[in-house]
Amino acid sequence: MIELKTPAEVEAMKPAGAFVATVLDALEAHATVGVNLLELDKLAHRMIREAGATSCYIDYHPSFGGSPFGHVLCTSVNDAVLHGLPHDYRLRDGDLLTVDFAIELGGWVADSARSFVVGTPQDEADLQLIRATREALDAAIAVATPGHKLGDISAAIGQVAASYGYGVNTQFGGHGVGRTMHGDPHVPNTGRAGRGLPLRPGLVIAIEPWFMAGTDEIYTDPDGWTLRSVDGSRGAHSEHTIAITDGAPLVLTAPVASPAAG
């Protein structure tokens, strides 16, 4: 069931979104060459505890997961493209890392992901892949306004992917966000413009384009969670939780602006 939030409820979701952005900023700054993925998970866990938030991941066990997730952060490296289970791995120069993070704070959930290269980029193709997911996210957010339909969001993502020559896997995509992490509607990463659910103020969704450089097919790692590209090509993922309003969309997980230097 799709639930529309009142303006007051959308306002109440802002602290959760701001906290997710703050944690992702801290993780990106900490994810340097030699840092262990488990160390990143511990950092996120500590920040959750200090904020009085609750992880959406640690006990998460959907039908596609091999067991309860057991960590508070998804860390997907290189050909691991989604749901990367943190493990004993030290980041190397040039790794393409995606961190995906969702929590509940004050009764409301926020969910966001970002990809970046650790250390010195080794291949321009990695930067292009990351750039493509960010452009797709921006294009999708731009049409997330009343008068458009859900298909316009999906089509905007798919058009950016096609412009770069990337295929699109439709097994996983965006979703409704509210009191729980995953709700209706499902937001595919490709689709037909002008089709589907009319976008109305109060709809809160996570939009999350994720692309792979060489394929649109994935398989599940023996850990029961990590999804990898079938050809070993790298993946990137950009995600924001947004609220549709009477005007421009509100990006709840946008990075918090730093105070201007004075």
Q: What whole-number distance in Å separates Cα of residue 201 and Cα of residue 33?
A: 43
Q: What whole-number distance in Å separates Cα of residue 125 and Cα of residue 143?
A: 27
Side-chain half-sphere exposure of 47, counting CA atoms within 13 A: 23
Residue 126 labelled as part of a binding site: no
Phi-psi category of residue 91: left, alpha or beta, with phi > 0 → left and psi -120 to 50 → alpha: beta
Answer yes or no: are the C-beta atoms of 20 and 28 closer than 8 Å.
no
Q: What whole-number distance in Å separates Cα of residue 149 and Cα of residue 140?
A: 11
Q: What whole-number distance in Å separates Cα of residue 128 and Cα of residue 13?
A: 32
Residue 30 labelled as part of a binding site: no
Other C-beta atoms within 10 Å of 62: how many? 8
Residue 100 labelled as part of a binding site: yes
Report CA dihedral (189, 193, 197, 202) to the nearest 10 degrees.
Answer: 80
User: What are the start-end ranges of the E strands in 83-230?
Assistant: 96-105, 108-117, 174-176, 183-187, 204-207, 210-212, 218-220, 227-229
Cα 243 to chain centroid distance, Å, stands at 15
Residue 111 labelled as part of a binding site: yes
60, with CB counted inside 10 A (0-12, 13-18, 19+), is: middle
Residue 71 labelled as part of a binding site: no
Q: What whole-number distance in Å separates Cα of residue 80 and Cα of residue 82?
A: 6
Residue 83 labelled as part of a binding site: yes
Name the binding residues.
Answer: 83, 100, 111, 175, 182, 208, 239
Binding site membership for a divalent metal cation: which residues? 100, 111, 175, 208, 239
Query: Residues forming the annotated binding site for substrate?
Result: 83, 182
